[in-house]
Amino acid sequence: MFDIHRHKLSRRHFLSASLLLAGGAMAMSPRRALSESAGSRNEMVRLALLSDTHTPNNPKNHWRGFRPYKNLQEAVGRISTDLPDGLVVTGDVARLTGDKGSYDNFKKLLAPISSQRPIHLALGNHDHRGNFIHAFRNQPGDAEQVEGKYVVTADSSPVRLILLDSLLWVNLFPGQLGKAQRLWMQSYLKACDDQPTVLFVHHTINDGANDMMDAGQLVDIIKPETKVKAVVFGHSHACSFSQTHGIHLINVPALGFNFNDRQPVGWIDARLTAKGGEFTVRSIGGNRRLDGYAKRLDWRT
């Protein structure tokens, strides 16, 4: 029931896939690449994939019966009991407008993990680029020079991570990579080696929708670059697995709250190798029936 594959995604198909499933820098030590925390075990890296934490300034903030502050607190507690090699958040770190208090609370709650493992963050439409960069300094990986955007690359052997910036307007729905970032992406992918690469971005990758206005152009860039194996994103507050042109599209569930009761509230535990990955849903709210559901994906060649 959960084996969802699409070769060209329309907004209708993307939403259908979600329903079927339902049935940047950080001032946190240590500053090291994800592969280093995995030691010499380079054949596999384990990452906790989070999105849409919507960490509020006020810990009592709630919506649809969910308390994002407590959700993040619970998730950190569970992840800390069996630490992965690193953690990635695909945007909307802050509750609504990227205020300083939201980022302060996020850093405080993540401290048990960030003191031992590297954390990577992408920007979402509820983040504020200036406040974000000021709050999160010295993020592991390499900050790339892309005008007006915050882009990070990291070697988490056996895979490469690229965190893109789709923030267009704060607290408004649409997102966009923009011409400068797309040109950088083309150049970077042509110049880098063939290490399996996973992209992380906030807005959903579904052609024809208005959540990321240049999603189709991104797909056109990465389609011929077979080193790109998957794109991981959030924004929709839904969990789904689909693909386009052999590229896996992994929609991470929201941790802050869902938009409907069919969707889980939680994160994904990912185990990545040079050949593919296993993605296990961890649900602490919403549709808890999906807790423990695992999806095995093979990378295109």
The fold for domain 11-292 equals: Purple Acid Phosphatase; chain A, domain 2 (3.60.21)
List of the chain residues with pLDDT < 50: 1-41, 208
Q: What is the pLDDT of residue 299?
A: 98
In the three-class reduction of DSSP (H, G, I as helix; E, B as strand; rest coil), residue 220 is classed as helix
Other C-beta atoms closer than 10 Å to the C-beta of 296 total: 10
Q: What is the pLDDT of residue 39?
A: 40
Helix (H) / strand (E) element for 244: namely: strand 240-244
Q: Take residue 121 and report the two structure tokens written for it.
A: 């963050």
Residue 91: name the closest of 178, 152, 156, 164 by CA.
164
Which one-letter amino acid corresponds to residue 86?
G
Q: What is the pLDDT of residue 209?
A: 56
Does the pTM surpass 0.85? The reply is yes
Phi, psi of 19, deg, nearest 5: -70, -35
Please give the Cα distance from 159 to 198 (Å, whole number): 7
Q: Domain segments of the chain: what residues?
A: 11-292
Helix (H) / strand (E) element for 17: namely: helix 11-22
Class of residue 261 by CB neighbours under 10 A (exposed 0-12, middle 13-18, buried 19+): exposed
Q: What is the pLDDT of residue 210?
A: 58
Q: Take residue 5 and report the two structure tokens written for it.
A: 């594959």
Residue identified by tokens 């990378």 is 299
**103 DSSP assignment:** H
